[in-house]
Structure 1
Amino acid sequence: MSNETYKNTALIQASLKKRYAREKRFQWMGRFAVFLGFLFLFILLFDIVGKGLPAFTQQYLLIDLDLSADALDVAPDADAEALSRANYAGVIKSSLRDMFPEVKSRSDKRMLYRLVSVGAEYELRDRVMADPALVGTRQSLWLLAHSEAASYLKGQVDPNSPEAERRVKDAQITWLDQLHADERTKSGFNTQFFTAGDSREPELAGIRVALYGSFLTLAVTFLLAFPIGVCAAVYLEEFAPTNRLTDLIEININNLAAVPSIVFGLLGLAVFINFFEFPRSAPLVGGIVLALMTLPTIIITSRAAIQSVSPSIREAALGVGASKLQAVFHHVLPVAMPGILTGSIIGMAQALGETAPLLMIGMVAFIMDAPAGVTDPATVLPVQVFLWADSPERGFTEKTSAAIMVLMGFLIMMNALAIYLRKRFELK
């Protein structure tokens, strides 16, 4: 072989070596990018779960209560109406003073009273009204602890830090330590987090209203967006003529998919609330706004699913005498349904996590009672997270993370449902 051949071979080998080296570097860069993404995701999830887990437990204090008629300020044979107005807060405060007789000053008494939640008096009222025989007795009952006291019992407060930097004061730490040493503290699962509405007290706040509101809002969104979106996709893909009008419609659909969500909120505020005078802060308006926002996503994914159906299926149906409508609804749509459902559920999951458009239509209101219908005032989980995240109390910080965990759980369930339905229809 000539020297020229050797040179060409060496150049080719060197070029191949450089290309293989670049390919390996690119592969390692891709692996590093994937690793970095998983690392940030793990850090985020670890932070959310670490902060949110304490919200699923509640702290209770065992208090010796004097439920005599004099202490309750009622007659011995008081009826239900009189018992509902009894002085339960005074009973709890006097019981705390009896348990800690060394507390004398007014400021110390105020700190002592803050060991127990303000909701404890209503809990005690419900117990007495359910069993009037408790009147005239002395009972040792577990009462809900205040969120600040609960944060110390959960180990979230460093007692060695300066007193000015923490909400739990030294005197309260001493009293809580004494109660813990006397086995008068316990923790339990926080069922109230799922059964109670919003509250200004962190230990009493729950996501029941947000869960109801999210369900009703998503129900309205699905009932409007899914049939309209699928029908629009079928028409544009199978029946619409190719002209400037359909091209303009397709361009606008693609543009609407990129419009910021807050613009849809402004649309809902201007049209549905101000013009049509629909009820403010209602799941009906929230569902309509989210349906408009989700509609482009459902149309685009449905059209892509219909396009992926083999033309031979249409031709075979038309060849045996089926009409265009029969070929589409009896043959094309069943084959495209896995992709249509997957795109629709992903669009619904996106709607579940939206906050900005719902803020514009007033679903940021403080609501304690669960809605009974789509026209009642309500809020949703993302908005509830927004409200709690703006509160300075530590108890709301863990409630925020816990609500995010619940929201993420719903999103995972919806995506898992999309995968299941896709596999199920593909098998059929």
Structure 2
Amino acid sequence: MTDQTAPPTQTNPAMDRMKASLARRYAAEKRFQSYGIIAIILALSMLVTLFATIIGTGYTAFVQHTVHLDVTLFPQDIDPEGNRDPEVLARADYQSAVNDALYSLFPEATGRSARRDVRALVSSGANFVIRDMVLDNPELVGQRVSVRVPLATEFDQVLKGNIDPAVDLGVIRERSTDIPWTLPPGERLISEGQADYMQQLVRQGEIDASFNRWFFTNGDSRQPELAGIWGAAVGSFFTLLVTLSLSFPIGVAAAVYLEEFAPKNRWTDIIEVNINNLAAVPSIVFGLLGLAVFLQFFGMPRSAPVVGGLVLTLMTLPTIIIASRAALKSVPPSIREAALGVGASKLQCIFHHVLPLAMPGMLTGTIIGMAQALGETAPLLMIGMVAFVVDIPGSPMDPSTVLPVQIYLWSDSPERGFTERTSAAIMCLLGFLIFMNAAAVLLRKRFERKW
């Protein structure tokens, strides 16, 4: 027998280099995918943290503690002449009726200091709640009515567990009689007497936690327990109404002219470049422009939604023009050629065929521009919409504020009650923005044409 040995294997250096290169390429692709996944996880975690912080701080604003009072509306104090004149009823002294109802709950509070502590339990705006009831139903004059008035913000925040500068909050909620005071008297948020009175109301079941309707029906107020977003919401509505009424037709008309009718020369190139540049200009520049032109030159009313709408129109026009031109470009040239081929004029081709097909993209750009305008603050601060406005605006010419500016004002207030209302207002604003962006996505999906 003869031994047969296997021939030595031949190595191919080129093949080895190619395999090593493929391994490095695959490893690089896996690393890139890992970086992308890590980036998405980080972005989502930051987003969740942001929403958790806002919701965790602001959800308590949707609940308000109220005190049950039996208020006697004496005719000699409310309507001495008995003619039920709304102006007389609006100027009547309702605070005395509130104070008398509070004193009846604590007959032992006879001294000046004790009665001051009793009056501090309810909001200083409780008289306005009763006034609104009487104005809605003047027949209540002369009757004894049962009403719930908001608790003062310090006691409301104590019961919600948001602040603990002087007492153990759980003690009051558990209706205990012992309060472990942790701060000296000069640094306590509420006095011992006020804490005793509040505990007595809790034990008697006179304090109730209910849905905070004032947050959605009131305008701004110095008292956090009475401050609401309705005035700012109406102001935002009027401002966006003016913005939409001006920016949409002007933006669409400008886009149609530039894309379909304007000659391609140096001037139109300059216009297009400037429109693209205006889309990147900081919003506060438009506020300075509105201050100089609309307020100082034309003398328009300060803090009015009509001025805010004009400023936001200037800011959103570049976005709408760019989106509308992109929508017009997406319409196939064959549509235009077919329309012109059957005898349609240029205007008929544009308005009967091209615009209907491009309208979904135009509406999407418009809604995105409106969502951007809804969240703007800086340009509106420059035209005076930062003013403290209590009344609900009735028209675009009335002084008002908007939701982003309202959030800015509340965030600058030191009271803990405004802190939770700031987060609650942010939640409402984010809800509007999410709704508007979702509407833009749905419109695009619903009317989008595939060519």
User: Which residue number in structure 1 is paired with residue 396 of structure 2?
Assistant: 374
CA distance in 2, matches of 1:284, 1:241: 35
- The reply on whether 1:407 has 2:436 as its aligned counterpart is no
Partner AA of 1:27 in structure 2: Q
Contact 1:209 / 1:370 at 8 angstroms: preserved in 2? yes
Alignment CA distance shift 1:327-1:104 (3 Å): same
Contact 2:79 / 2:141 at 8 angstroms: preserved in 1? no
C-alpha RMSD of the superposition: 2.6
Identity score, percent:
57
- The reply on whether 1:299 has 2:321 as its aligned counterpart is yes
User: Which residue number in structure 2 is paired with residue 162 of structure 1?
Assistant: 183
Question: 1:345 Cα deviation (Å)?
Answer: 0.5
User: Which residue number in structure 1 is paired with residue 195 of structure 2?
Assistant: 173
Please list the CA deviations of residues 33-85 of structure 1 after superposition, one character each: whole Å capped at 9, or x if unmatched. Answer: 11111111111111111222111122111235465678x5987x855467665
Alignment CA distance shift 1:427-1:89 (3 Å): same
- The reply on whether 1:208 has 2:214 as its aligned counterpart is no
Alignment CA distance shift 1:131-1:344 (3 Å): closer
Contact 2:78 / 2:89 at 8 angstroms: preserved in 1? no
User: Which residue number in structure 2 is paired with residue 228 of structure 1?
Assistant: 250
Q: How many residues align?
A: 425
TM-score (norm 2): 0.86
CA distance in 2, matches of 1:84, 1:292: 42
Matches within 5 A, 1:237-256: 237-256=259-278
Contact 2:368 / 2:437 at 8 angstroms: preserved in 1? yes
Query: Of the candidates 36, 48, 69, which is equivalent to residue 42 of structure 2?
Result: 36
Partner AA of 2:286 in structure 1: F
- The reply on whether 1:152 has 2:152 as its aligned counterpart is no
Unaligned runs of 5+ in 1: none
Question: 1:394 Cα deviation (Å)?
Answer: 1.1
Please list the CA deviations of residues 128-184 of structure 1 after superposition, one character each: whole Å capped at 9, or x if unmatched. Answer: 6636566375x6542221111111222223333536666344433332222111111
Pick which of 307-316 and 401-410 moved more. Answer: 307-316
Query: Of the candidates 217, 236, 259, which is equivalent to residue 281 of structure 2?
Result: 259
- The reply on whether 1:135 has 2:135 as its aligned counterpart is no
CA distance in 1, matches of 2:207, 2:26: 66
Partner AA of 1:112 in structure 2: V
Q: Decide which structure has the larger Cα Rg and report it.
A: 2
Pick which of 113-122 and 240-249 moved more. Answer: 113-122
CA distance in 2, matches of 1:298, 1:166: 55
Partner AA of 1:155 in structure 2: G
Contact 2:324 / 2:361 at 8 angstroms: preserved in 1? yes
Alignment CA distance shift 1:166-1:394 (3 Å): farther
Query: Of the candidates 360, 370, 380, which is equivalent to residue 358 of structure 1?
Result: 380
CA distance in 2, matches of 1:7, 1:13: 10
Partner AA of 2:386 in structure 1: V
Pick which of 217-226 and 161-170 moved more. Answer: 161-170
Unaligned runs of 5+ in 2: 1-6, 169-181
Contact 1:128 / 1:135 at 8 angstroms: preserved in 2? no
Contact 1:152 / 1:168 at 8 angstroms: preserved in 2? no
Matches within 5 A, 1:40-59: 40-59=46-65
User: Which residue number in structure 2 is paired with residue 348 of structure 1?
Assistant: 370
Contact 1:225 / 1:291 at 8 angstroms: preserved in 2? yes
Pick which of 158-167 and 144-153 moved more. Answer: 158-167
TM-score (norm 1): 0.91
